[in-house]
Amino acid sequence: MTVLTENTYKPLTNEDAAALVRKLKLIDGHDLAVSEIGDGNLNLVFRVQSSTESIIVKQALPYAKVVGESWPLTLDRARIESEALILAAKYVPDLVPKVLYSDSTLAVTIMEDLSDHSILRKSLIEGTAFSKLAAHIGQFTARTAFYTSDFYLHPFEKKKLVQHFSNPELCKITEDLVFTDPFFDHDTNEFSSALKPDVEKIWNDELLKKEAATLKYQFLTQAEVLLHGDLHTGSIFVTEKSTKVIDPEFAFYGPIGFDLGQFFANIALNYLSQHHHSSEPFNRKETQETLLTVIQETWTVFQNEFTRLVHEESKEVFARTPGVLQNVLEKTFIDSVGFAGCEIIRRTIGLAHVADLDSIPCEDVQLFLKKKALHLGTSLIKSRKSISSIEQFTSIIRGA
Ligand code: ADP
Ligand code: MG
Ligand code: MG
Ligand code: MG
């Protein structure tokens, strides 16, 4: 089996994926069925099945699948992804898929099959709520942040991890697509001509651009904690009882509020997409309120868990000095609101949209909601420093 004996990279075929799983003896049985199930933008995802078991083989391609070979992209993202999953498993073992094997030359991560879960974005579009979601994402963000921060790690150990998770090519995608291109007339942007006047308002809003630049600068420079880096609702698998965060190939050391902000933004976009149709106003309203509760509870759980960990496990001598933790939490909150604003704008007019808005069949409704989204994103970025509580944040979303 060439793929296993040569120490070189090649994109796997279905047969290669089966041979790899067979060779590693990861599942029993010889008649393995393989299908490529990836719906993401960047990578190959194979499900390899015997009659009794199944397993997932994810492989990075040397380019971005969504664009093709004209957009080369480092294979190192597969190493980052498997190592971020393995590190997260130390602190939130129930909230990530188990990694069974990884090979940085082949750019492969083999992990547990989570096909009994659904992708959160899809479920939210269908109107399903998940009662454990907020607690789980609050725990995930708090625990992965604390245990990779200077509150917990020796400064040598932390700086080693910062180097280890240096991820310049994937960060550049975020720097361009989230923090830059949507604020300029750039050819990666995508929006209907009917939205152009609202988009031009963004391009001409110098105060907004100054604030977006500040948030970009923070993203570029603040190595606070190891982030997931791509925590939108397509990176979260759910059932009623279980939550699994997948796809951390954008992991890097950045500002704590970034993951929270991306999560909040994607919940807010789904909130907007639950448009009040006159035939069912009550249902939608209830679904929308549940979504705002998810944002509030996620923040509350994050804050409580991070606080508890700092009080109980921090090695930083200033950790108990009055005001120190509070400053970090206040900064994180304000950042998360600003990052959410950037994510809302880029998902509306940038390169990668969200199905929540784009799958709405009526173009007029889409346009109406996208105008709201741009307005909401703009005001979150500009007024983030005067938003002092999570309730105030969610009431701004409610008022959008
Ligand atoms: P990409 O980096 O290309 O976005 P993802 O890791 O998000 O790849 O995976 C793309 C899709 O493949 C997911 O939306 C999901 O449908 C499927 N998938 C990924 N990991 C698993 C898994 N562990 N179990 C089951 N399906 C998975
Ligand atoms: Mg993905
Ligand atoms: Mg996906
Ligand atoms: Mg990905």
**Ligand number, closest to the Cα atom of 246:** 1
Please tell me if the CB atom of residue 114 comes closer than 6 angstroms to any atom of ligand 1: yes
Per-residue tens of pLDDT for the chain, all 400 residues: 445 555 799 999 999 999 999 999 999 877 899 999 988 778 999 999 999 999 999 999 998 877 778 889 999 999 999 999 999 999 999 999 999 999 999 999 999 999 999 999 999 999 999 999 999 999 999 999 999 999 999 999 999 999 999 999 999 999 999 999 999 999 999 999 999 999 999 999 999 999 999 999 999 999 999 999 999 999 999 999 999 999 999 999 999 999 999 999 999 999 999 987 656 767 889 999 999 999 999 999 999 999 999 999 999 999 999 999 999 999 999 999 999 999 999 999 999 999 999 999 999 999 999 999 999 999 999 999 999 999 999 999 999 9
* Cα–Cα dist 364/390, whole Å: 31
Say what the pLDDT of residue 2 is: 45
Instruction: Tell me how far the alpha carbon of residue 234 lies from the centroid of ligand 2, in angstroms.
Output: 6
* Cα–Cα dist 262/318, whole Å: 30
CB proximity list for 218: less than 8 A, separation 6 or greater: 255, 335
Say what the pLDDT of residue 252 is: 98
Please tell me if the CB atom of residue 99 comes closer than 6 angstroms to any atom of ligand 1: no
How far separated are the first and last CA of the chain, in Å rounded?
Answer: 57
CB proximity list for 316: less than 8 A, separation 6 or greater: 150, 151
With a threshold of 0.85, tell me whether the complex ipTM lies above it.
Answer: yes
Instruction: Tell me how far the alpha carbon of residue 42 lies from the centroid of ligand 3, in angstroms.
Output: 9
- HSE toward the beta carbon, residue 398, CA cutoff 13 A: 17
The structural domains of the chain, ordered by start, are 2-112 (3.30.200.20), 118-398 (3.90.1200.10)
Contact 63, 9 (CB under 8 A): no
> Six-digit token pair at 124?
């939210």
* Cα–Cα dist 98/96, whole Å: 6
Instruction: Tell me how far the alpha carbon of residue 44 lies from the centroid of ligand 3, in angstroms.
Output: 11
φ and ψ of 124, to 5 deg: -65, -40
Please tell me if the CB atom of residue 39 comes closer than 6 angstroms to any atom of ligand 1: yes
116 annotated as belonging to a binding site for a ligand: no
Neighbours of 80 (CB within 10 A): 23
**Ligand number, closest to the Cα atom of 55:** 1
Q: Tokens 């991070």, residue?
A: 306
Neighbours of 296 (CB within 10 A): 16
16 annotated as belonging to a binding site for a ligand: no
7 annotated as belonging to a binding site for a ligand: no
* Cα–Cα dist 3/11, whole Å: 9
List b or e across 340-367, with b for residues whose CB sees 16 or more CB atoms inside 10 angstroms.
bbbbbbbbbbbbebbbbbeebeeeeebb
Sign of the C-alpha dihedral, residues 87, 88, 94, 100? negative
φ and ψ of 118, to 5 deg: -120, 155
Atom of ligand 1 nearest to the CA of 41: 3
Q: Which of 246, 250, 262, 354 to mutate to test the pocket of ligand 1 (most atoms within 8 A of CB)?
A: 246
Instruction: Tell me how far the alpha carbon of residue 46 lies from the centroid of ligand 3, in angstroms.
Output: 13
112 annotated as belonging to a binding site for a ligand: yes
136: left (phi over 0), alpha (psi -120 to 50) or beta: alpha
DSSP character at residue 150: T
Please tell me if the CB atom of residue 225 comes closer than 6 angstroms to any atom of ligand 1: no
335 annotated as belonging to a binding site for a ligand: no
* Cα–Cα dist 34/353, whole Å: 30
11 annotated as belonging to a binding site for a ligand: no
Please tell me if the CB atom of residue 245 comes closer than 6 angstroms to any atom of ligand 1: no
Which DSSP helix (H) or strand (E) runs through 63?
Answer: strand 63-64
Please tell me if the CB atom of residue 57 comes closer than 6 angstroms to any atom of ligand 1: no
